[in-house]
Structure 1
Amino acid sequence: KGDDFDAAKVTDLKDAIYRVLKNPTVASKSFLISIGDRSITGMVARDQMVGRWQVPVADAAVTTTSLVGYTGEAMAMGERPPVALLNPAASARLSVAESISNIMSAKIEKISDIKLSANWMAAAGQPGEDQALFEGVKAIGMEMCPALGIAIPVGKDSLSMRTTWNDEGEDKSVTSPMSGVITAFAPVTDVRQTLTPELKDLESVLVRIDLSKGQFRLGGSILAQVYKAIGSVTPDVDSFDDFKAFFALVQDWNNRGLIKAYHDIGDGGLLATVAEMMFASRLGVALEDQSVASLFAEEIGAVLQIAKADWEDLQAEVAASTLKDAIAVVGT
């Protein structure tokens, strides 16, 4: 376990923001994306680039099943290797949750329609690594996915994630943490209803759905890493029922045309999520006062843009929801 990362040590918010946005995990991947063809076959409905300014912040890839009609299929990924240094089981659960919170930007009929591919990587035989791999596989293969009604029909493994060399007579080695990289696939009922992070220029609110319900754990976060720490208490998926309710709510509100923009909360936390929504739309956002932990915690959830009039009409529905303690307005 690492030493706990104290968010109170972050005294310069501007410096923290720049550090997080410059981290390779959060920063733009345009240099990788723009070198390839993103529209081959003529059936690509949603590629990485979003909006008029083509910013690479899409949550999922969506293709059509044919050149006519609007059905299709969606693909998305999730991974949280740094968390595995502290809690391998939580890392695996977060990877699954991230892949689903990405793919739910597409119009999917039910959560059980989603199928997963699991790519496991570990340094087999190294101290603690076999146990970490077991904990990760058990967490999602025997607990989380059965609870969600999701199958993992395919996957692969790479179990030699350690390299050794000799440098001027000194033996050296690097061991990668256990990593579960999850790819989600699902049929899409209407590719035209795919949500993107591009904000619309209208009177609206930004609504955060935070499945941690305010815990804002920073272990394994990008914020901790850019301050040369790892933390101790990591994010996790605390309730599978809440996660299923989260999926159902987003799909319902999307079907009713209530969500104007959507972006999952992942690497970099709320701050990075909202920044990417701003980059895609070139619109400003007024965030309500947030603690450092609230801004940078990478808890599972999403930010939704909802028209102000629609949000007022949704108050009774939100109050009756099992997620009422997880839903809050964070900006306009």
Structure 2
Amino acid sequence: DPRAASRMAIVETVTNLAGAPIESIDRIKLSANWMAASGDPAEDADLFDAVEACAALCRELGLSIPVGKDSLSMRTVWQERIDGRLAETVIDKQVVAPTSLIVTGFAPVTDARRVLTPKLARGVDSVLILVDLGQGRQRLGGSALAQVTHQIGNEAPDLDDPALLARFFAAIQRLNGEGRLLAYHDRSDGGLFATVCEMAFAAHCGVAVNLDLLTIDPLTEDWGDYKIRPEQVSVQRNELTLKALFNEEAGAVVQVRSVDRDAVLGVLRESGLSKFSHVIGKPQAKDAIEFFRDAKLVYGGSRAVLQQAWSETSYKIAGLRDNPECAAQEFERIARADDPGLHLRLGFDSTDDVAAPFIASGARPRIAILREQGVNSQTEMAAAFDRAGFDAFDVHMTDLFEGRHKLADFRGLVACGGFSYGDVLGAGSGWAKSILFNGAMAEQFALFFGRPDTFTLGVCNGCQMMSQIKAIVPGAGHWPRFLRNRSEQYEARFSMVEVLESPSVLLAGMAGSRMPIAVAHGEGRADFDSGEQQRLAGPALRFVDNDGSVANDYPANPNGSPDGLTGFTSADGRATILMP
């Protein structure tokens, strides 16, 4: 059904975005990628119907499609030759991709801090509410269940009432604005079963779901009549259970506090959604995902086992594509039920404004926020140092080459992160060579590093560059080189780090603190020539597991550095490099 497929592509985009605080549904803009094998009469008719349905729905919802693209040659044609007894036979063959619409949505967010995620809130007395935009139809055509049972199905999910979607979006925005929603996950691929499981996976907790309200057949007489034995209707009941769990109609599951349940249901009632909104379950302390019907367990399984099954395909792909040992370590980690997760444990008072006395005195040391072509985080770095009381200057390497700025005029120097020279010579190598192979520039940097009243920070690409000019940084001779990550992939994730005891002037008073930080690098593995070099390298920061132990395994140690080391300082603490 090309019309239904077109509408559902838009609907799923809207329900996916509904968890973000957006002023109104008409603020959403869509990008449409039409894919079809044009030229075939049947496919052209399907494309026409799909475009017409898309346009009609967008007009009704107030959505616009300012951008998009067409891929209208989705056909492969070839000839196959078969040798026969008398002559060779040539058979024309072709594979035609079905007409489809790929939609991407985007909208301005009013407050990024209020974006809802599928991660369930733990330790809160709460319930899960399903809002069913399919209005109980539970159509299974084209579903994951149909595919794994080698079927297509008769009737596919569709949006039968566009106004219902608009009211749903407005209701979710209102409830989010009132702070009544703890978690949100739209229902799509895999149906309710996948939706609930993914919410449990994100939180590493168990969930209990009651399917009674979703398995009522309004066209059937009461099966509880004393003349009807349970086994007589078991087939129908099991069929309704499968429909409830695996239909991929539009909708969402939200987590709300138990004390807010009635208020939330009241808002849904005002929006005309109460008939299809059901309290279906709640998180549980038991680390299992369980589904009940008629007070009996119809399916239950360990959350960890189910999550590993959910991740198995990705694990096998990663095992072939990436470092297989890293892939195995990440997969095995899923089964750890005692993982406390990312957390913050500071050894200092984060509310203490240590810069305030200096700012009050009028002192604003000049600091050079140094960048090269390809560096991309200088604005955020400048903002951080400006907030800390420094007078930050945007200094490009060409400013130093052409004399517009001199390092002698600054007290601080920060080499920022990014991809200088596209990392084509190795991460940070081109940047480092532009200094070392220019006599005047090498002398200017050496004089700056040698001044006792200066400090230097190198972050990410700046860290890689600094490690390659360590010969002119006093007390940095034992710093490591940085090589490709052990995982053989660019790593972008949150990782736990611990600040070590060191002379670093930038990390003073922070020793023992643990915190999650953003990691984004492809060549971050610290490499030493010997254990002695590692000992003398001035370690200042290391990756740790969520329990605080030294991170040696992936992904807690995202790059494979020995003992998780990811930050170093010079002997006097004036130069610090960090490899997040």
Above 0.5 in TM-score? Answer: yes
For residue 125 of structure 1, report the CA deviation from its aligned partner: 1.4
Alignment of 1:149-298 (within 5 A): 149-169=62-82, 170-201=91-122, 202-289=124-211, 291-298=241-248
Alpha-carbon distance between aligned partners in 2 of 1:134 and 1:120, rounded to the nearest angstrom: 11
Distance verdict in 2 for CA 1:187–1:318, change over 3 Å: closer
Q: Helix, strand or coil for the counterpart of 1:125?
A: coil
Distance verdict in 2 for CA 1:159–1:314, change over 3 Å: closer
Gap runs ≥5 in structure 1: 1-86
For residue 212 of structure 1, report the CA deviation from its aligned partner: 1.3
Alpha-carbon distance between aligned partners in 2 of 1:127 and 1:267, rounded to the nearest angstrom: 30
Alpha-carbon distance between aligned partners in 2 of 1:173 and 1:226, rounded to the nearest angstrom: 25
Alignment of 1:1-332 (within 5 A): 87-141=1-55, 143-169=56-82, 170-201=91-122, 202-289=124-211, 291-332=241-282
Divergent runs of 4+, >6 A: none
1:7-27 CA-partner distances (Å, limit 9, x unpaired):
xxxxxxxxxxxxxxxxxxxxx
Taking only aligned residues, the RMSD between alpha carbons, in angstroms, comes to 1.3
The answer to whether the 8 Å contact 2:130/2:252 transfers is yes
For residue 259 of structure 1, report the CA deviation from its aligned partner: 0.8
Alpha-carbon distance between aligned partners in 1 of 2:173 and 2:189, rounded to the nearest angstrom: 23
Amino acid at match of 2:77: T
Alpha-carbon distance between aligned partners in 1 of 2:34 and 2:175, rounded to the nearest angstrom: 34
Distance verdict in 2 for CA 1:249–1:316, change over 3 Å: closer
Alpha-carbon distance between aligned partners in 1 of 2:34 and 2:77, rounded to the nearest angstrom: 21
For residue 314 of structure 1, report the CA deviation from its aligned partner: 3.4
1:236-292 CA-partner distances (Å, limit 9, x unpaired):
011111010000011111111111010000111010111111111111110112511
Amino acid at match of 2:49: E
Distance verdict in 2 for CA 1:315–1:125, change over 3 Å: closer
Distance verdict in 2 for CA 1:317–1:252, change over 3 Å: closer
Alpha-carbon distance between aligned partners in 2 of 1:157 and 1:321, rounded to the nearest angstrom: 37
Structure number, greater radius of gyration: 2
Gap runs ≥5 in structure 2: 83-90, 215-240, 283-580
- Identical counterparts, % of pairs: 48
Amino acid at match of 1:129: E
Q: Helix, strand or coil for the counterpart of 2:134?
A: coil
Amino acid at match of 1:163: T
Amino acid at match of 1:308: S
Q: Helix, strand or coil for the counterpart of 1:184?
A: strand
Amino acid at match of 1:213: Q
TM-score, scaled to structure 1:
0.72
1:154-211 CA-partner distances (Å, limit 9, x unpaired):
1110111010223444433211000100111101111111110000112111100101
Alpha-carbon distance between aligned partners in 2 of 1:167 and 1:305, rounded to the nearest angstrom: 56
For residue 315 of structure 1, report the CA deviation from its aligned partner: 4.1
Count of residues in Structure 1 that have an aligned counterpart in Structure 2: 245
Distance verdict in 2 for CA 1:191–1:330, change over 3 Å: same
Amino acid at match of 1:325: K
TM-score, scaled to structure 2:
0.41
Amino acid at match of 2:43: E
